[in-house]
Structure 1
Amino acid sequence: MKNKKLLEKWNEYVGLYNGPMYLAIVEALAASIRNGIIHGGERLPTQREIASALETNLTTVTRAFREAHRRGLINATVGRGTFVRMGAEVSHWRSPKAAIVDMTMNLPPIPQNPPLQRIMQSDLAALLKKQNISNLMSYRVTGGTLEERQHAVRWIEPVIGSRRPDDVLVVPGAQTALAAAMSILASPGDIILTDRITYSGIRTVADQLGIILVGVDGDENGFLPEQLEIACRQYQPKALYCIPAIQNPTTVTMSLERRKDILKIVHDNRLYVVEDDPYSLLHDNPIPALAALDHGRVIYISTLAKVLSPGLRTAYVALPNAEMTRRFAVAVRAFSLTNAGLLSALTLRWMQTGQSKEILGSIKQELRLRQSIARNILGDSHGMDPNGPHVWLKLPEWWSSVDFVSYARHRGIALVPSNVFTVDGDFPQRARISLGSILDISNLENSLHDIVTILSHKRATDFLSIV
């Protein structure tokens, strides 16, 4: 039934297209992806079905598929069929022309007090003076040295409680950690549950590993327990992925009671949890992590990218048991071998001297100022956390997410549409604004005022033809 409706839409589009038939088919496919009629990972009708429905020949459809593949819209697998490529939704809202203001990346603001550049110049000079250059530039032990792991334990203790250094690994970035965790928990074709709207990086990992993500609905406290129970019974998943604090992109923080409810379901269904926690330390009094409430079922990932700097390429991972720690370390070694020596030495120095806490304090103060400015300019009807780095912007009814983001880019502001984060179902009328990447507060204020202007603009019917 869905294929029939899809091909009816394509027939309408092809009838209006002035150009070669094969390009008309490609444009019809692109429009279907853009408008959320078909999503990443969905199977397309066979070429023969398409040719019959559009009253054309098989050669034309084959040529169209070849062009769609070149554009990154589809993937074909022998024996399985042709599928919309995961992430295909992204390509049509991006432009080779750089936006004047890039608000797409969730970066922490660069500290000015203390000034990060001066700190790095001083600390790197000290490292080069005290340490042998061959040690800084050589391969390192996978998972970090004992001293690095001891400092990692202290860093994440406010969120997950006391752990032994043997249970914690130092990994080159959260994305490596996510890939390693997924690879040891699931095999190609297995299902992992997540929020219906979730971090785009987990979609990239799942697509690369051949793992299927299934979205679960939630509310202002996180996953709805009854929906999670239904999904567990229906799909027999291998694991659950979540961001319990200042969720990316929705900004929801899971309540303590909801965390306990979720862990009971996890325990009853013998699941593991991949707890992705970039943001808890932005709270002065963080809610205990899932890993603090259940040591035995949670792989906990805490990156320094959002609370210090992504340039450190460092994440701390707490594992449930020795066997999983061993398997995880093997996976990390396969994906990225080791951390970079110079960055590891700089990170360790910051932990030793207390500089890391000072930088974190500066970033927290700056983000709170930026969130206050955003609330004053945008209003309080959007997804916001006063400590977080982003805003989940609610759009008026006349704007779809992709069209709004495309038009904003045309006006010089780069944002991220909701389809990038959507695992299942319709794309919400939302866009993510990242507040940390703009250096100057006055530029941030001007950009937010521009976004308010764009929100009120009602696009012309021929808008898509001019961007």
Structure 2
Amino acid sequence: MHSRPMDWVPDLSDRPGPKYLSIARAMAEDIATGALQPGTQLPTHRELAYQLGVTVGTVSRAYAEATRRGLIDGEVGRGTFVRRRIGRDMGEIPAGANRGGIDFGLNFPPMGTTERDAFSDALKEIADSRDLMNLMAYAPHGGAPRHRQAAADWMRALGVETDAGRAIVTTGGQNGMLAAFAALVQAGDTILVEKLTYPGIVPLAEMLGLKVQPVDMDAEGVRPDALEEACRNFAPRALYCMPTLQNPTNAVMGEHRREDIAAIAKRYNLILVEDDLYRFLVADAPPPLANYLPDQAIFITSAAKQLAPGLRIGGISAPRAMVPKLERAMRASTWMASPAMAEVFSLWVDRGIASTMAREKATEMRGRQAAAAEILQGFTFAGHPTSMHLWLTLPEPWTDRDAVAVLGEHGVIASSGQVFATAPGAGRNRLRLSLGNPKDLKIVRHGLGVIADTLAGAPQQAASIV
């Protein structure tokens, strides 16, 4: 383990390519092997440049690249440190901690008897269907016609202006994102993302060889002035954003903001990839961004939050000209979504069961958010009456690293805000708490009580109280 700032000096002798990338790759390898442990302080830019015989600018570029990859983070006045592993920050209880904890980590939806009974009934109906053999065979890459129609009906209920010819059935939202970027963006292109965003976009971009550039945000999400500046400076190909109940900040873009974002995207010929899987929770949300930009916007949603994560079914609505490319991307990635699960989904949409589930989840989350507002009085956080998560600002002297570790010892799982960061310093000393995952409101209230009591004290005191 390397624990002192001047200990780490990578060997670049057998590494081809730009020096700054070689440094970043060496850092990634040492983190993966454990030679660089989470929390290790790295050399200053000037000191590492001296040790390697390169310019300070080269080291600065290397550290910036490592930050973009989520490997390190800098703290003003303290230095640059190796980040904690993403898996742990997303809610894994540290080894040796209290197991069977209360999980506010991953954003699972609340589920109960409605989902169980509807799934059981659908499987029984499918088992007795004359169409059973077709559900075991290959389907078109974008989904069977009936399933594409159900996806279009589902997205229209969310306010999207679409039809079956523009709809594609995907294997969940992540697969939809992969298909969109694989089909429409080329390796080496720059994509813009919110400076705090869904963590799955970063490894996806790395896999496709895309450059990720963060865009500044405010209480409504992406700032138009920051987006315009990024378009001028980086010539990006696409923007990925979450305009409704943004993850993790809960921001909701107003109608005028959506108009401004769409206008900028049109002016710079920017493909707009709209991830709107929480939209069903906001009854009065403004129209989807895709409606403002019908010729160059992709709308992506997923059944994971509204229905059930295990379905692994999602939907894309795209301009007709882009549909063939997206179908080819589906073929290259998963060939097709599962016809059997797409049939369950279609039955639920056709019979209004999907709408019932959406209403029940919104009602359940309203109660859980109300409990959070009551129990976390005196703390600063961004919530929404029906959101599945909240964005908590930690009181001094707490850091997100301390909070995740101490709460884990107390049996409560939380996600560090830095997991969602694409810009240096973003998300620091924040927690995202996913209120939908615990089984019921009683458990939610207990877990929030533990969080409130823990954060009311200092980290050293709280760590000793179980």
TM-score (norm 2): 0.81
Is the partner of 1:305 in helix, strand or coil?
helix
Return closer, same or farther for 1:255/1:137 CA change in 2, 3 Å cut-off.
same
**Separation in structure 1 between the aligned mates of residue 51 and residue 367 of structure 2, nearest angstrom:** 58
Measure how far apart 1:28 and its partner are. 6.0
Query: How big is each residue's C-alpha offset from its partner over 1:190-222, in whole Å with a ceiling of 9 and x where there is no partner?
Result: 211111010001112112212121111111112
Instruction: Say which is worse superposed, 441-450 or 144-153, in terms of deviation.
Output: 144-153
Structure 2 counterpart of 1:447: 447
- AA aligned opposite 1:108: P
Q: Using a 3 Å threshold, how does the CA distance of structure 1 residues 400 and 99 change in structure 2: closer, same or farther?
A: farther
Task: List runs of 5+ in structure 2 lacking aligned partners.
Answer: 10-29, 55-69, 73-80
Q: How far 1:366 moved relative to its partner?
A: 0.7
Structure 1 regions of 5+ residues with no counterpart?
A: 1-6, 15-21, 52-71, 75-83
Deviation at 1:351, TM superposition (A): 1.4
- Counterparts of 1:122 and 1:8 in 2: how far apart (Å)? 57
Deviation at 1:174, TM superposition (A): 0.7
3-state SS of 1:31 partner: coil
SS at match of 2:382: coil
The whole-number CA distance in structure 1 between the counterparts of 2:131 and 2:87 is: 45
Write the mapping of 1:109-188 to structure 2, written as runs, cut at 5 A: 109-112=110-113, 115-188=114-187
Letter in 2 for 1:442: K
Q: Distance in 2 between matches of 1:96 and 1:9?
A: 24
CA distance in 2 between counterparts of 1:392 and 1:233 reads 31
CA contact 2:409–2:463 (8 Å) conserved in 1? no
Name the structure 2 match of 1:237: 236
SS in 2 for 1:273: strand
Range that drifts further, 191-200 or 95-104: 95-104
What does residue 351 of structure 2 align with? 353
Matches of 2:220 and 2:406, distance apart in 1:
32
Aligned to 1:367: 365
Q: Distance in 2 between matches of 1:170 and 1:257?
A: 30
Q: Provide the C-alpha distance between the structure 2 equivalents of 1:159 and 1:294, rounded to a whole number of angstroms.
A: 16
1:215–1:423 CA contact under 8 A, matched in 2: yes
Residue in structure 1 matched with residue 101 of structure 2 by the alignment: 100
CA RMSD across the alignment: 3.4
Look up the match of 2:57: none
Instruction: Work out the CA distance in 2 between the residues paired with 1:47 and 1:122.
Output: 68
Q: Is the 8 A contact 2:110 2:438 kept in 1?
A: yes
The 3 A distance-change label for structure 1 pair 146 and 341 is closer
Letter in structure 2 aligned against 1:370: R
Query: 1:111, 1:362 within 8 Å by CA — same for their partners in 2?
Result: no
Identity %: 29
Aligned length: 413
Is the 1:105–1:434 contact (alpha carbons within 8 Å) kept by the matching residues of 2? Answer: yes
**In the alignment, is the contact (CA less than 8 A) between 1:192 and 1:211 conserved in 2?**
yes
Partners of 2:334 and 2:407 in 1: how far apart? 37
Distance across 1 between alignment mates of 2:214 and 2:306: 27
Pair 1:13–1:327, CA change in 2 (3 A) = closer
Q: Which residue of 2 aligns with 1:215?
A: 214
More displaced stretch, 345-354 vs 179-188: 179-188
Q: Does 1:30 align with 2:38?
A: yes
C-alpha distance in 2 between matches for 1:430 and 1:221: 18
8 A contact 1:158–1:286 mirrored in 2: no
Q: Separation in 2 of the partners of 1:300 and 1:180?
A: 12
Output the CA distance in 1 between the equivalents of 2:346 and 2:48: 54
Distance 1:128 1:45 in 2: 65
